Amino acid sequence: MPDKRPIGIFDSGLGGLTVMKEIVKLMPKENIVYFGDTGRVPYGTRSRDIIHKYALQDEKFLINNDVKLIIAACGTVSSIVADLPNTLPVPFFEVISYAAKMAVSATRNKKIGVIGTSATISSESHKKKILELDSNIEVFTSPCTLFVPFVEEGWISADDNVVLGMVSRYLEPLKQSGVDTLILGCTHYPILCDVIRKVMGDDVTLINPGEALALAVKDYLENNDLSNVEQKGNYEFFVSDKTATFEKTAHMLLGEKVEYNKVKQVDIDKI
């Protein structure tokens, strides 16, 4: 019997829509509830305790919507909660473990780069996961603070010298280190793939955490008889701040149009 309960996805903002995009691509029949905590974005500059508090509230909201599993699409949240015990009543997936596994499989010279928010990089979560899988790998990291605001503004073209200069400034040390694999450790970063590839070169493999996670979720659902095998999935979107700008940003990140009336604002502090 198909399990029609939705997949729950949350992020500090709308960047997690790039993860949803990969889920939809692989599992178009799954129902999805997406929550973007746009009222408290960004999480990347917050303390560990505050990030954990926000994550618990986000998870509670999704559980109240009867989801069958929860995905922390946020790299910052994943870096904090990955090492905490899972007390949720449903399976929990984070983006770091699967990105690390994909990167270890992809590297040829055992030099992997990781870019992300300040909180993600300072947690060293990717590095820990990578070294657990292969202790001989060298891991090079760089916090790329301006990537998210550039994406949010729609400044993502590889032909824009301002964008190219900004990305080059962050990535040049990683390029000089000789990494052949680069983990895009924030959900916004895949939108900058063309620019990042232009800076790093075609020989560097870019790891999209959303793609790695989607593959793991698909395997889990199929192996546990939890897949929805009926009609095309239904998608619900919730945010914690005004919904007015959602449509434009969602179209860029998700790759398809989201009708304004499908987005609802909730008071996450009252969940």
pLDDT along the chain (271 residues), means of 10: 91 90 94 93 84 92 97 87 74 93 98 92 93 98 93 91 97 97 93 96 96 95 91 90 79 76 86 79
- List the catalytic residue out of 17, 32, 74, 263: 74
Per CATH, is 7-94+211-270 categorized as 3.30.70.100? no
Phi, psi at 209, each rounded to 5°? -60, -30
Domain range list for the chain: 7-94+211-270, 96-209
Assign 122 to helix, strand or coil.
helix
CB 145 within 8 Å of CB 137: no
pLDDT for 253 equals 83
State the DSSP code for 114: E
pLDDT for 85 equals 57
Q: Angle, nearest 10°, between helix axes 209-223 and 17-26?
A: 40
Per CATH, is 96-209 categorized as 2.40.50.140? no
110: left (phi over 0), alpha (psi -120 to 50) or beta: left
pLDDT for 141 equals 97
Assign 93 to helix, strand or coil.
strand
**Same fold for the pair 7-94+211-270 and 96-209:** yes
Chain CA centroid to CA 48, Å: 18
Query: Residue holding tokens 């990717």?
Result: 126
What is the C-alpha to C-alpha distance for residues 236 and 5, in angstroms, rounded to an integer?
12
Assign 176 to helix, strand or coil.
helix
- Over residues 190-246, the pLDDT tens digits come to 999 999 999 999 999 999 999 999 999 999 999 999 999 777 889 999 999 987 777
- List the catalytic residue out of 32, 67, 174, 186: 186
pLDDT for 260 equals 60
* Beta-carbon contacts of residue 121 (< 8 Å; ≥ 6 apart): 114, 115, 141, 142, 143, 185
Query: Has 144 been annotated as catalytic?
Result: no
Query: Has 193 been annotated as catalytic?
Result: no
Q: Which residues of 216-226 are buried (b: 16+ CB within 10 A; e: fewer)?
A: bbbeebeeeeb
pTM of the model: 0.89
